[in-house]
Amino acid sequence: MPNSRRVLIFVIATVVPASLAAAPQRSARNAQSAATAERPQRGVTAPTAKDPFMGTWKLNPSRSTYESGAAPTSFTRTLEDRGGGTIFMTTDVTIPQGSTRAYLVYRRDGKPYPEAAVAVPSIRMVTVTAAGPRTEDVYIIVNGKAPEKPSTITISADGMTMTQVVSGTDAKGKAFTNTVVYDKQP
């Protein structure tokens, strides 16, 4: 169990804004309201057949930069349109402490949806909002704590590169920005 917790902490540190640790304590209901009130309201965009986010994406470690924590050795994320909602799966996430996977079914409507992750002691709530046709803002609420800034995910104009920028504060209070780059798979 201690290894699975280290894996979760690493995934959160590399994929989720670590500013969650510095956010004021809130209940899950208040966190949802606070996350909605603190970020700019954006339009809801439903996935379409040509949705640039859909597909399988693999980590490109040579193009990714991590100011907080070490980079995973592998990371695959798959997004599928499920008719009015998207299923997001992270698989093959491998770090020195082990591996993990997570699942999320959501809409880009800014409402919180629960994420299911292997060997995680608590449920994280995730809100996704369309910031443009190729950009999403993702807020992850952990133990009732909402981040100040979203994790921003952008798809390149050619549709072949996904870039996720995660800014936050690590456990020691040091600010960081991780830029995680994925390549679309055929």
Q: What is the pLDDT of residue 96?
A: 66
Place 134 in a pLDDT band, splitting at 50, 70 and 90: very high
d(CA 3, CA 79) in angstroms, rounded, equals 27
d(CA 23, CA 145) in angstroms, rounded, equals 6
Q: What is the pLDDT of residue 80?
A: 95
pTM: 0.71
For the chain, percent of residues with pLDDT exceeding 90? 43
* Nearest residue to 74 (alpha-carbon basis) of 52, 96, 54, 104: 96
Neighbours of 88 (CB within 10 A): 19
What CATH number should be reported for the domain holding residue 144? Answer: 2.40.128.20
Q: What is the pLDDT of residue 42?
A: 47
| 26-44 confidence digits (pLDDT tens) | 333 444 444 444 444 444 4
Q: Which residue has the higher pLDDT, 126 or 100?
A: 126
pLDDT average, residue stretch 114-127: 85
d(CA 109, CA 42) in angstroms, rounded, equals 9
Q: What is the pLDDT of residue 8?
A: 38
Q: How many domains does the chain have?
A: 1
Q: What is the pLDDT of residue 39?
A: 46
The tokens describing 183, both together, are: 């390549």
Q: Which of 80-84, 118-122, 138-142 has the lowest mean pLDDT?
A: 118-122
d(CA 103, CA 172) in angstroms, rounded, equals 29
For the chain, how far is it from start to end, CA to CA, in angstroms? 36
Neighbours of 82 (CB within 10 A): 11
Return the exposure string of 9-43: e unless at least 16 CB atoms fall within 10 Å of the residue's CB, then b: ebbbbbbbbbbbbbbeebeeeebbebbbeebeeee
Whether 145 shows a pLDDT value over 90: the answer reads no
Whether 13 shows a pLDDT value over 70: the answer reads no
d(CA 145, CA 109) in angstroms, rounded, equals 20
Residues 6+ apart with CB under 8 A from 149: 17, 19, 167, 168
What range defines the domain where residue 161 resides? 2-184
Q: What is the pLDDT of residue 76?
A: 94
The whole-chain average pLDDT of the chain stands at 77
